[in-house]
Structures are given as C-alpha cells and as structure tokens.
Amino acid sequence: MIAEAAVIVPFTGAGISTECGIPDFRSPGGLWARNRPIPFDEFVASQEARDESWRRRFAMETTFAAASPGRGHRALASLYRAGKVPGIVTQNIDNLHQASGFADDHVIELHGNTTYARCIGCRQIYDLGWVKQHFQDSGHAPDCVTCEEPVKTATVSFGQAMPEDAMRRAAEFAQQCDLFLAIGSSLVVWPAAGFPLMAKNAGARLVIINNEPTEQDDMADLVIRHDIGDTLGPFVGN
Ligand code: NAD
C-alpha cells in the first residue's frame, strides 16, 4: 500500500512514543492510571490546580528531555524525505516528529506541545526554564508578565478549544491523501478521532496500526495489531 500510494498522511497517537520511554494514556500503567487529567476550567479557576499541573509537568521532565525519536518516528521521517508524506497529523505533544526531521510547519499538532509554555490570555510564549525558576522562587505557578493571565504548557487540555488552524489543515490533509495511517492511537479522543473516518470517506485507504483493538477497526482496509516499532522499522531509511 505504501508503494502504491502517492500521498500518505500519518496520524499518530501516544503509542508511537512508548518505545521512547514516554507512557501513553490508556495502556495499563499509562498516565491515566496515575493521574486524573486536570480540565481546562479547573486550571483557569484554581491556583492549586495550576500548581499541581506544573508539578506533574516537572515530574515528567526527565522523561520528555531524554526521549529521542523511535523507529516509528524515523520510518515516517524517511517517507517524508522521500516525498511520499506531505505532513503529519499528531495528537502527541512530545515534539518527537520535529526531532525526527519533519519541518515544524509540516507537523500538525492537534493537542499542542508540552516542550514550551504559553500565556492562555495573550498567547506569549515562555520557555519551561523560566516557569520552573519562577515556581521554585515563589512556590507557585506563574502568571504572564504582560497580561497576568496564567501560563500553561502549550498543550490542549480537556475542555479547552481545539486550535482552529491545526484542525483545518488536518482536515485538508485527511481529504487529500490516498493512504491514511492511524498509528498508536486508541481513537477515543474526539474530535481528533474523526480524521481517520474523514480520510476514508474522502476515498483514502485506511490502515490502523495499534496493539489494542479500536472502535474504527471495522472500517479500515488493514488492521495491524502489532508493535509499531517492529511494524514500521523496515521503512527506516536514508
Ligand atoms: P492512548 O493512550 O489513548 O492510546 C495509545 C494506544 O497506543 C493504545 O491503544 C495502546 O494499545 C497503543 N500502543 C502503545 N504502545 C504501542 C506500541 N509500541 N505498538 C503498538 N501500539 C501501541 O493515546 P492517544 O490515542 O494518543 O490519546 C491520548 C491523548 O494523550 C492524546 O491526545 C495526546 O495528546 C496525549 N498523550 C500524548 C503523549 C505523547 O505526546 N507522547 C503521551 C501520553 C498522552
């Protein structure tokens, strides 16, 4: 299918990064088993929720900082360099597709990026070092120096609006490919989980690569219920 396709769009979830040491959400031992997610309205309303949210982020820092692209990331980057993949749609927030060689502009991040922070008001960008220093000095999560709204990782929390530009570009990619690869996602987080269906309805072949069954397996042209690194490893090249 990869050989036959002219335009391939990969759509990735947390499963592509587990071999890089970053736990996913829903596997046994995943992040949800340990921490209930903090919804956006709670983050906005409560200093305690913001402090807890940043404590959790700093606790993950060694994991995120140590992670480098796995076989899945590198295989997709090889197809990108070969001109088969115009861009990638990801639910991941770990920056590993960029680290594997995709240009920033060709990574459509549906749920943002956890490797930097933003003011939720004026959108000013902050680096994590600044946030950490402030947290250590004051004992609390910081507010924006310009507009005094809270500073949050540049991710999309439950209850927070989806980024319009990323949603629009992801839809264009889904509707313009002839092969759509859904890789390492439980396909239960909406609206992101709507893109495989959108691609299929627009005429693409759909392949799902995931260890566990998903609710969309029935409409896929091929389901590979197997390890992502093992499955995509042979496509790592140049
Ligand atoms: P998910 O945890 O709901 O699903 C991950 C799926 O990947 C699971 O079904 C699991 O069986 C499968 N999987 C895990 N390792 C695998 C492997 N090596 N081979 C094959 N399959 C494997 O993740 P999701 O669907 O991406 O949705 C969760 C949300 O969590 C996303 O929106 C994302 O923002 C966030 N998240 C991101 C990261 C990250 O950036 N790495 C990590 C955790 C959570």
Give the model confidence (pLDDT) of 56-107 as tens digits: 999 999 999 999 999 999 999 999 999 999 999 999 999 999 999 999 999 9
CATH number, residue 47: 3.30.1600.10
Q: What is the pLDDT of residue 36?
A: 83
Residue 47 to residue 51: CA distance in whole angstroms: 6
Residues near ligand 1 with C-beta < 6 Å? 13-15, 17-19, 22, 24-27, 30-31, 91-94, 111, 184-186, 189, 210-212, 227-228
Catalytic residues: 111
Ligand 1 atom closest to residue 193's alpha carbon, by position in its atom list: 25
**Are 119 and 143 in the same domain?**
yes
Taking 60 as the threshold, does the pLDDT of residue 238 lie above it?
no
Q: How many whole angstroms separate alpha carbon 199 and alpha carbon 221?
A: 12
**Hey, whose CA ends up nearest to atom 16 of ligand 1?**
15
Q: Are residues 137 and 166 in the same domain?
A: no
pLDDT tens figures, 203-227: 999 999 999 999 999 999 999 999 9
Which ligand 1 atom is at minimum distance from the Cα of 226?
Answer: 20
pLDDT value at residue 35: 76
Q: Residue 1 forms beta bridges with which residues?
A: none
Please indicate, yes or no, whether residues 34 and 93 belong to a single structural domain of this protein: no
Please state, as a whole number, how many other Cβ atoms lie within 10 Å of the Cβ of residue 194: 15
| Same domain assignment for residues 166 and 202 | yes
Structural domains of the chain, count? 2
| Shared domain check, 119 and 106 | no
Q: Write out pLDDT tens, residues 8-61.
A: 999 999 999 999 999 988 766 666 666 788 999 999 999 999 999 999 999 999
Instruction: Tell me, in angstroms, the distance from the centre of ligand 1 to residue 210's CA.
Output: 9
* Domain span at 41: 23-66+112-155
- Asked which of 127, 155, 183 is the last residue of a domain, the reply is 155
Ligand 1 binding pocket mutation candidate from 17, 18, 25 (most atoms within 8 A of CB): 25
Identify the pLDDT of residue 34. 66
Residue 32 shares a structural domain with residue 100: no
